[in-house]
Amino acid sequence: MNYPYANGVLKVKEADLFTNASYLRLKDSKDILKTLEELGYEKKETIEATLVNELVKTKELIDSLSPNPKLTNCFFLVSDATNIKAYYKARIFNLSTEDLHIPNSNFSKENLEEAILNSNLKGLAKENQKLFIKIGKELEGLEENPRLISAKIDQILFEKAYKDSKKIDDHALREYLVLNIDTINIITLFRAKRLNFDLEEVLDVFIDNGKIKIDVLKDLYQEEDEEKILKAITLVYPKLENPLNRFFKDQSLDLLERAFKSFTLEEIAKYEYDSMKLGPMLYYYLSKEVEIENIRLIYFDQSIALTDLIKGEKNG
């Protein structure tokens, strides 16, 4: 496939993305599964099965259209990290792996079981064999520290994806990765402050290659003045002023994470019409992820305000 064709297909699909009217129908619905079916979702036995199926279908669509799978595989980086972390922790702490696998990932359940639980890398491509060998080496000696296990896996995966994105001139993908790194680091900063971690513990978990450098994050961790923290972050990302001010008032990391996802989608929307590049494909995939997460939020709390959902172009 080529980019103009792939992006043309997805531009047509964008018309089906949920709007505020769609979310209002779900909020008012007495049978959310039935309403989702009416809105175009394939109905399964449970809400979670229905949403997972939609994610899988979206990934399969992206995979089928992708002119460069190595780059579009980066769309699923967060799911890859979640899966790899879960399976390593299951191995180290002897936990059950039932219902552990998130399907919109580059690694199948069987891949992860063999590679992590059985230390058998034969089913993986050579590049991924190198990846898992590196992860295994980095995790040596960390068996008693789940937090560092998670951090090391994030650091390795984001570093690889960032290097891959720099080899090909695609600004949308690189910006997406940097936005993920920075927003994850900011959430880590505030969570660590809340838990009163030692400085060295915090420095071990930040991810490199963000616009906000680790030296700046180090200073912010030791800073108590919220105005100074706000100024340092908004110097890099001015649009985060309102979400951060809200966080300083309500201290809700959940709402802050949603605001960061809205911000990321807004920034990637700048590349929505770049038909010769990856931007439209990335925009569509992120829009579907946001849509599915919003449906979950409504399912668990139908009284949720539309303003507390993750914002996108269709429901901003």
100 vs 315, more confident: 100
pLDDT-derived band at 211, boundaries 50, 70, 90: very high
**Contact status, residue 186 vs residue 207, Cβ threshold 8 Å:** no
Angle between helices 241-250 and 253-268 in degrees, nearest 10: 170
- Supply the pLDDT for residue 175: 95
Q: Tell me the C-alpha distance between 265 and 282, whole Å.
A: 9
pLDDT in tens, 150-160: 999 999 999 99
Mean pLDDT over the full length of the chain: 94
Token pair in block for residue 28:
């008012």
pLDDT at residue 271, rounded to an integer: 95
**Residues in contact with 249: Cβ distance below 8 Å, sequence separation at least 6, in sequence order:** none
User: What whole-number percentage of the chain has pLDDT above 70?
Assistant: 100
Nearest residue to 164 (alpha-carbon basis) of 215, 209, 211, 105: 209
Segment 226-276, tens digit of pLDDT: 999 999 999 999 999 999 999 999 999 999 999 999 999 999 999 999 989
Q: What is the DSSP letter of 31?
A: -
pTM: 0.93
Tokens matching residue 238: 């001015």
Say whether pLDDT at 98 is over 90: no
- CA nearest to 277, candidates 2, 3, 1: 3
Q: How far is C-alpha 154 from the geometric centre of its chain's CA atoms? A: 11
Segment 23-47 mean pLDDT: 97
Residue 42 CA to chain centroid, in angstroms? 24
Neighbours of 248 (CB within 10 A): 14
Helix axes 253-268, 279-300, angle to 10 degrees: 150
**pLDDT per residue as tens digits for the range 273-309:** 998 999 999 999 999 999 999 999 999 999 999 999 9
d(CA 18, CA 39): 8
C-alpha 187/C-alpha 300 separation (Å) is: 23
CA angle 281, 287, 288 (to 5 degrees): 95
Region 104-124 average pLDDT = 94
Q: What are phi and psi of 140, to 5 degrees?
A: -60, 130
The Cα–Cα gap between 132 and 122 comes to: 11
